[in-house]
Amino acid sequence: MKVSVKRVEFGSVRALVSVTIDGIELRGFRVIDKNEGDGPWVHPPTRVIDTAKGKQFFSVVFIEDADKRAAFNQEILDAYTKQCEEETKAL
């Protein structure tokens, strides 16, 4: 699995992330950090649909197995942390 991280600063979004697995690229993951002490977390790609009840959000990618989902998210967070450390060292 290859993880590509682009650091950003808008609202609580800290990074935009793409993941490539066996030649299939999944785009639109985000690293979120609301600075509330919980630390960063991964938000999967979502699609917003306007309905009669208002905007509804639907996950585009969902990993059913909780352990696999946690491991997947941790790989993204590890790549994000590594990039942050590398950028700090470059300063």
In 3D space, the residue among 75, 64, 62, 80 whose CA is nearest the CA of residue 13 turns out to be 80
The number of domains in the chain is: 1
pLDDT in tens, 16-52: 999 999 999 999 999 999 887 789 999 999 999 999 9
Q: Does residue 43 sit in helix, strand or coil? A: strand
Predicted pLDDT of residue 89: 87
SS3 content of the chain, % helix, strand, coil (to 5): 25, 45, 25
Domain that holds residue 45: 2-90
Task: Decide if 72 contacts 63 (C-beta within 8 A).
Answer: yes
The strand pair at 24-32 and 41-43 is best described as antiparallel
Can you give the CATH number for the domain in which 70 is found?
A: 3.30.1120.40
Predicted pLDDT of residue 5: 97
